[in-house]
Structure 1
Amino acid sequence: MTKILRLVAVVLLVAVGVTVWDGFFIVPEGKQAVITQFGAPVGEPVREAGLKFKTPFIQVVQYFDKRVLIWDGDPNQIPTNDKTFIYMDNTARWRISDPLRFLQAVGNERRAASLLNDIIAGTVRDLVNKNNLIEIIRSSDWSPDYMVASVQSRDMVVPPTVGRDKISQMVLEAASRITPQYGIELLDVMFKRVNYIESVRLKVYDRMISERKRIAAEKRSTGEGRKAEILGRVDRELQEITSTARREATEIRGRADAEAAKIYGQAYSGHPEFYAFLKSLESYKQILSGNTSLVLSTDADLLKYLQRQHLGK
């Protein structure tokens, strides 16, 4: 009898423990919960973190994220109003604002991502179809002054009337009118990437390359002109310096020759016979240079001078 009572006590204790264990649950920070009984929601959603209680065994807790979530859509090919096909890659931030409605209308985050893909992608397609490409690629605060350094005067510079930022806001407003019925709050929508399709992209690249080549040719032409201007100025300055140096050299040489002539004149006027003798020697030096043969008469002064020099030795 005692063993039976002990066994019953143990069974009761285990049953109470399991009941208590299944009756209490913890809502983690950043999570919210909905309690369901036989598949139907019971009571209000549990939004605060902490230890909570439910009816054991017959009630089930389903958790949902309370944090901001990221939706990242697949790139889609969309034509603009001016018939240009582009790839649009969009992203958005959202959160579960009503977990009970979210549970009833969507069920889980995977289905929510698919639902947002339909809502946001469709809204983006509608607005892109109604606007030209310039409105998609340029921001709302864009102005021609921003590109004044790189845009040539011949280019057509037209500021956007709406702009990418306002179109994103329009997408957010349109999609936000649909998502609350699914318990979803859409926080923002952004155009992550806008690109041309392959055929258009190649044409754009060719245009960009030709434009860069044109600018490079203009830069080279400007550089060559600047180079010619600098070289011309250098040549002109060199000629001016050379001309000035030659003039000063001529003046100095003239003054030196005049001074030398003056000294020679003073020296020769004091000794005219020595001057005549020196000039004769210079004449003889020029005559007797090289392989010159000279025939002199017996009474020639040069012959007499050479004989005296020879006898003097």
Structure 2
Amino acid sequence: MRRRLLLLALQVAAVVAVIYIIQDGIHYLNEPDQVIITQFGEPVRAPITTPGLYFDLPIIQSENTFDKRALEYQSQPTQVPTKDKRYINVTAFALWRIADPLKFFQRVQDQSGGQARLADILDGEIRSAVARYNLIDLVRTTNRNRQDVAIQTEGESVILQSLEKGRRNLELEVLARASGRAADLGISVLDVRFRRMTYVEDVQKEVYARMIAERQQIAQQFVSEGQGEAARISGERDRDLAKIQSEAYRSAETMRGKADAEATRIYGEANGRDPDFYTFVKSLDIYERSLDANTIMILDSGSDLLKYLGKTK
């Protein structure tokens, strides 16, 4: 009787154990997750990345769940010197994901460890990149219009500062370098951006002064071009006016010549028809042009000019 009770107790215990193992050992993997199964801290199978049911042994095996989605990282403001010795505070933003969960687990154990290692990588690469370039490369992405145009100012040739790299290219450089180092941790870095840059007080004043100077240089360039265009238009106007005046003078002289010729012809015809009348008219014309109220002339009595004056008596 005692043996039967013991056997029954063992059977019940076995059933309970099986139920417990089944209940506690069957799990469901959600879409955004991936799992590493470990036994006494060591991985015992390949990572489970497909959504659905999976099984582990309770008590002796553990599940380590990681996110498959893109994760965010934001650095703390870091003061960094640029190549031209300007100090700025840089805050970076990055997107990353766990590309190789097995390697990730073996290197950093969990996501907080991954964040810490990624922070070390990004901080070092950002410091290195910022130190290799001038401040202008951190605040602009491309060269602005007229930035490479020489502007004559007070006898000196000034060239607006141009970029060597540009902010976006600098971000891509940091991304490439960080991705290479993070791959050994099972991490894929998707994007890196300089979220915010602030200047220390001395640099801020210098930046504002440079911005004002560049705006003034560009404004001077516009003024110079406007003055040049005005001079060109004025020159064209003067040239066109001179051409019009020349053509008008030539036309007037032509008309005057024709009129003089016509007058000469008419005078000739008149002279041919009545020479005495022509002589009389010519004499009157000479009188009109030569004499006025204050004119005193001493002439011989036989002068032709006195011919008609004498007849008036």
The TM-score, its normalising length taken from structure 1, stands at 0.58
* Correspondence list, 1:296-311, <5 A: none
Q: Report if the CA contact (8 A) 2:35-2:65 is conserved.
A: yes
User: What CA deviation, in whole Å up to 9, does each residue of 1:86-130 have, x standing for no partner?
Assistant: 2333325231523596399544x356434532x13542365258x
Equivalent-residue separation in structure 1 for 2:253 and 2:272 (angstroms) = 28
1:47 is matched with which residue?
A: 48
2:228 is matched with which residue?
A: 225
The Cα RMSD (Å) is: 5.0
Equivalent-residue separation in structure 2 for 1:100 and 1:86 (angstroms) = 36
Partner of 2:79, secondary structure, is strand
Equivalent residue letter for 2:263: A
1:134 is matched with which residue?
A: 134
* Correspondence list, 1:60-139, <5 A: 61-80=63-82, 82-90=84-92, 91-95=94-98, 97-98=100-101, 102=105, 105-107=108-110, 109-110=111-112, 112-117=114-119, 119-124=120-125, 127=128, 131-134=131-134, 137=137
Q: CA deviation at 1:242?
A: 0.7
Equivalent-residue separation in structure 2 for 1:208 and 1:136 (angstroms) = 11
Equivalent-residue separation in structure 2 for 1:243 and 1:147 (angstroms) = 44
Q: CA deviation at 1:197?
A: 0.8
Equivalent-residue separation in structure 1 for 2:91 and 2:269 (angstroms) = 105
1:33 is matched with which residue?
A: 35
1:240 paired to 2:240: no
Relative distance call for 1:69 and 1:167 in structure 2 (3 A) is closer
User: What CA deviation, in whole Å up to 9, does each residue of 1:247-306 have, x standing for no partner?
Assistant: 321221221232134135424643568879999xx9xxxxxxxxxxxxxxxxxx99xxxx
1:213 is matched with which residue?
A: 216
Relative distance call for 1:111 and 1:56 in structure 2 (3 A) is closer
Q: CA deviation at 1:83?
A: 3.1
Q: CA deviation at 1:23?
A: 4.4
Relative distance call for 1:135 and 1:95 in structure 2 (3 A) is farther
1:292 is matched with which residue?
A: none
Total equivalences in the alignment: 255
Listed as ranges, the gaps of 5+ residues in structure 2 are 1-14, 151-156, 286-310
Q: Percent identity?
A: 30
Q: Report if the CA contact (8 A) 1:97-1:185 is conserved.
A: yes
Partner of 2:134, secondary structure, is helix
* Correspondence list, 1:12-31, <5 A: 22-31=24-33
Q: Report if the CA contact (8 A) 2:88-2:200 is conserved.
A: no
User: What CA deviation, in whole Å up to 9, does each residue of 1:53-85 have, x standing for no partner?
Assistant: 345799765532234434333442222465321
Equivalent-residue separation in structure 1 for 2:179 and 2:55 (angstroms) = 39
Q: Report if the CA contact (8 A) 1:32-1:45 is conserved.
A: no
The TM-score, its normalising length taken from structure 2, stands at 0.58
Q: Report if the CA contact (8 A) 1:64-1:99 is conserved.
A: no
2:148 is matched with which residue?
A: 150
User: What CA deviation, in whole Å up to 9, does each residue of 1:198-249 have, x standing for no partner?
Assistant: 4313312321221231232133124313422431342133123213312321
Relative distance call for 1:124 and 1:24 in structure 2 (3 A) is same
Relative distance call for 1:223 and 1:175 in structure 2 (3 A) is same
- Worse-matched range after superposition: 204-213 or 78-87: 78-87
Equivalent-residue separation in structure 2 for 1:151 and 1:221 (angstroms) = 12
Q: Report if the CA contact (8 A) 2:137-2:163 is conserved.
A: no
Equivalent-residue separation in structure 2 for 1:253 and 1:81 (angstroms) = 80
Q: Report if the CA contact (8 A) 2:96-2:188 is conserved.
A: yes
Partner of 1:238, secondary structure, is helix
